[in-house]
Structure 1
């Protein structure tokens, strides 16, 4: 009996006490194609450095009449972003029935309208590829569900059944739709659990055969070159009536098991948990450096946007001071925008109801839409705001639209790029794509506002002419190239929050080898701000240069004036 077998069996015993854990461990190893004596990876390894920057994109965010979308994507990334990013997160690229990919019909096939597995493998030879493991639910048009309705395998026991008479009032929901869906089967009428929509049927991980199916799926993804795994909506994975059915101990146990097996098969693999929940709960998905390598920093988008539209960094600063430094081998995935909206649950306990209402109202004035969820008590609460990031920064809460949109937008990117963790930029943020109201009208989904599809020729034209798209894209590329050169921006480099007032947001980063100190100072208001360099306590014998402008600061107590949304990356290393 090898140590790996024993560790796998330990997890399985907690999940499936009715089974022979050692026998099932053998079956899991065989299904995963993993040798029982596979060498263990070194713990607490950082699988990243300051050069790691991710871009988030759909497989068809760029379309061309002349080639498959995944071809167009690779061509664009290689031509325009090769020296700016290291990782590409391709949102679900499988056949699907709804939710722009997150209702998967077949986990083993690339959607032929996008390309094929060869395209994914080709991308993986140029970039680290993150793929979605849509693990909580699958499509009502999947083979598994068709088999369920016929009572045959695979699928007969794959879905979560519940009686409508069961008290499910404690269940936490991200939606307002009914939780259960009525289904006719040969054995009679059944009611199936649907956390997100009635087209997305929750999978029953209390059935060990479901775990085996996903081990087979993960093995395929590894074979095709995927190394980063985004566990979609994983917080909802395990269901126990009478509980909130979110963040349950068994869910964490499944993640620990998957982490163990994946990293033994591919030492460079990375697990990312997507848990759009309050900050304190989100942090638990690090475990003891034995669950997620990366967790999404879900509180950052609403707090950062709130900071820049109010001109006050109080909440962002207070939140940052509460964030624990990630252990080596773990770090944060920082983002401001994604294919989804700006999540509001992560503001719970951070913004007051009045402040949240102000944020929502301001973004609605800028063209955004509000989506809601149902609480366990039956009340309706804000869940997310749907808006493009470019439009979110049109102006301020007090004054409305103004002339500072570009500067405000770049300031937000400059903050995210400098924070502890790995920055992930939604591809439409790189282009400053506007709200796509026509797509919302066409699909009926608020989320479509930030899921524009560019024709490749139109994008090339926009990036080659005098447009705000070109202005933003050029500035973002310059910023990312600069970021990737700074050891102080290693995802695990030291970070301290500084106290420079409510209109200046500031923090200090120091490289792991302590050779570089970098002070990041941002005017997050629409009025000029002045501060004294003595507030930063610079080492007088070092030479300090602003990496953004190239300006040298020889007097360590000089006064500095920052224009609205201007920022400094003040470094003692500038070779």
Structure 2
């Protein structure tokens, strides 16, 4: 069957102009025809953007396929599904399963084969089983592949297609302007049948960058993309480390124009297949650079709020809202059809580059000192001048909340829950790293075992041990999990917490308080999100909120009625409140 006229017209008007920008010297007619042939069997009827991809219900969980396992023969993906269905069926709506493919390093991000599942985890059928009750996010690691991949073996043997998929650079070339996320050498020496080569490797000598300047490589990744969406049922595609995708010697090789056009191209292609699929870009960089991945509302559907984790951690360590509020006020509402992804912790550390220019030098140094005191580590990156600077904090977020700048104290659990409540109150879609939801501490033993600092926040739970902890009423894990689950379920009922609902930052004179206002798209619900960032009780005159006297006001979290809008609202250390005039979606 030939492609419909509508599909052909879409390629002519939407796809070919982008290909012409990226590949001005390629045979665009042939390339477009090849892509059209790939997409044709899977295209939707309309191919138009779906404006309703998310609402206040969306809550994502971030986890490795083996973050929870069962002793014996059961595959971890089976165990994960059992845990999700038993404990989180009514709490989360989606699951980001971190790389599931066979890999050689970096806990999955050095992929050997994109179309296979690591047999130690399970199978594609196990993943599709998880995708039935939950929205599924999969990683497309498209900046690099494993040095053990078939493509790179072909490169070393001088065989097609892999011999044309990598970037061979003369080692005398001046690459000093290249922005680095690591301290490892940028070029890796490789012995090939054609002699010694030096190939580009942004992240490690086992993660070899691929060459997107070759349009044949684009076709390969479109095939992978279609497999994840059409065959596996992924609703979200996370473009890992996408900022480094395009290389141009003499430039910074980050955020180049071709990279942005490639993201837009992938969005357009997926829109023709399934208008409900979401593209999310992973760019752990300063805030202004991160925002650029929305494009003009035509690139990423979702970007990570990378500045939130370090700023929120700093606010709770310092006990003041100053820098967090400044950042919140500077953040533009997400463009139409786009959203932020809010998170406080992930499988990686807490990135420091997104806090550049947002913290004072003294507070920055104090932040590093605090987390080191609480058992954390600091990872570094190499600057263009050869010096090294802090890149990320490696610590379980629960342990980062052990105390404040004054040292450890008794408020760890309350402080941690406050951090998560702030995160899920902000404009955007909340995403909980599984170890935050479970209140998992730093795994220094695993870090020492692997020799990698990031392992400190990648604990693996034996399901039986975890269930014993969750059944103990006074276990910190049970307290955190129980309370966060309760708060999430309350949040999901509030239209004022739609990812694109209005947000306005308020300015009480008390810097220990963080106060902001959310209003539903229909303007029929307001929520004043109030948080005590300190270890002392605080008060807030309710007149500061300008509550409407004719409405009834109520704290969704504590259940407290506001009987007098002229009264003073009292908050215990690290207490949060959601004061609203509407008790939920169905009220």
TM bucket (normalised to shorter chain) is over 0.9
Alpha carbons 2:502, 2:521 under 8 Å: kept: yes
Say whether residues 1:26 and 2:33 are aligned partners: yes
Over the aligned positions, Cα root-mean-square deviation in angstroms equals 1.1
What's the offset of the Cα at 1:154? 2.6
Q: 2:77 aligns with which of 56, 70, 81?
A: 70
Of 370, 381, 384, which aligns to 1:362? 370
Residue number among 543, 559, 565 corresponding to 2:574 in the alignment: 565
Matched residue, 1:523: 532
The CA deviation string for residues 127-179 of structure 1, in whole angstroms up to 9 with x for no partner, is 00000000100100001110110011231111112111111000000001110
Q: What is the match of residue 447 of structure 1?
A: 454
Tell me how far 1:3 sits from its aligned partner: 3.0
Counterpart position of 2:66 = 60
Q: Deviations over 1:365-420 (max 9, x none)?
A: 000000000111211110000000110000001x2110111110010011001100
Asked if 1:382 corresponds to 2:390, the answer is yes
SS of residue paired to 1:126: coil
User: In the TM superposition, what is the alpha-carbon distance from 1:6 to its structure 2 partner?
Assistant: 3.1
2: CA distance between counterparts of 1:192 and 1:400? 46
Q: Which residue of 1 aligns with 2:52?
A: 46
2:12 corresponds to:
5
Pick from 308, 313, 331: which aligns with 2:316?
A: 308
Residue 22 (structure 1) shift = 2.3
Cα distance in 2 for partners of 1:4, 1:483 equals: 41
For residue 225 of structure 2, the aligned residue among 208, 215, 218 is 218
CA-CA distance at 1:518 after TM superposition: 0.5
Deviations 1:77-108 (CA, angstroms, capped at 9, x unpaired):
11100111111000000000000000000000
Secondary structure of the residue aligned to 1:522 is: strand
Matches of 1:18 and 1:303 in 2, distance apart?
A: 45
Cα distance change on mapping 1:38 and 1:171 into 2, 3 Å:
farther
Measure the CA separation in 2 of the matches of 1:333 and 1:264: 24
Hey, what's the Cα distance between the residues in 2 that align with 1:124 and 1:263? 20
Question: Among 8, 14, 33, which residue is 2:21 paired with?
Answer: 14
Distance 1:439 1:33 in 2: 47
Q: Contact 1:344/1:384 (CA < 8 Å) preserved in 2?
A: yes
Distance 2:403 2:452 in 1: 25
Corresponding residue number in structure 1 for 2:402: 394
CA contact (8 A) 1:139 1:199 kept: yes
1:107-506 alignment runs, 5 A limit: 107-222=114-229, 223-397=231-405, 399-465=406-472, 466-500=474-508, 501-506=510-515
Cα deviations by residue, 1:181-213 (Å, 9 ceiling, x for unpaired): 011122221110010000000010001111011
Shift of 1:353: 2.2
Question: Number of matched residues?
Answer: 573
Query: Is residue 535 of structure 2 the alignment partner of residue 535 of structure 1?
Result: no
Structure 1 spans left out of the alignment, 5+ residues: none
**What SS does the aligned partner of 1:217 have?**
helix
Structure 2 CA distance for aligned equivalents of residues 424 and 395 of structure 1: 24
1:514-534 CA-to-partner distances (Å, cap 9, x unmatched) read 110000010101111111000
- 2-structure distance, mates of 1:48, 1:461: 35
SS where residue 409 of structure 1 aligns?
A: helix
- 1:312 Cα deviation (Å)? 1.0
Contact 1:2 1:37 in 2 (8 A): no
Taking structure 2 as the reference length, what is the TM-score of the superposition?
0.96
2:90 to 83, 88, 97: 83
Worse overlay, 196-205 or 156-165: 156-165
CA contact (8 A) 2:526 2:580 kept: yes
Deviations 1:444-472 (A, max 9, x none): 00000000000111111111113111111
Do the aligned residues in 1 keep the contact of 2:49 with 2:276 (CA within 8 Å)?
Answer: no
Q: Is the 8 A contact 1:29 1:36 kept in 2?
A: no
Asked whether the 8 Å contact 2:157–2:192 carries over to 1, the reply is yes
Q: Is the 8 A contact 1:278 1:299 kept in 2?
A: yes
CA distance in 2, matches of 1:93, 1:41: 30
1:237–1:251 Cα contact (<8 Å) kept = yes
Is the Cα–Cα contact under 8 Å of residues 395 and 457 in structure 2 kept in the other structure?
yes
2:292 is paired with a residue whose SS is helix
SS at 1:425's partner residue? strand
Describe the shift of the 1:346–1:34 C-alpha distance in structure 2 as closer, same or farther (beyond 3 A). Answer: farther
Change (3 A) 1:214 1:529: same
Provide the C-alpha distance between the structure 2 equivalents of 1:178 and 1:207, rounded to a whole number of angstroms.
24
Contact 1:94–1:101 under 8 Å retained in 2: yes
Hey, what's the Cα distance between the residues in 2 that align with 1:66 and 1:474?
A: 30
**2:131 is aligned with 1:102:** no
SS of residue paired to 2:523:
coil
Say which SS state the counterpart of residue 2 (structure 1) adopts. helix
Moved over 4 A (4+): 33-38
Q: Separation in 2 of the partners of 1:207 and 1:345?
A: 31
Counterparts of 2:179 and 2:337 in 1: how far apart (Å)?
31
Q: Matches of 1:37 and 1:318 in 2, distance apart? A: 43
Please state whether the residue corresponding to 2:169 is helix, strand or coil. Answer: coil
Following the alignment from structure 1 to structure 2, what is the Cα–Cα distance between the partners of residues 492 and 218?
27
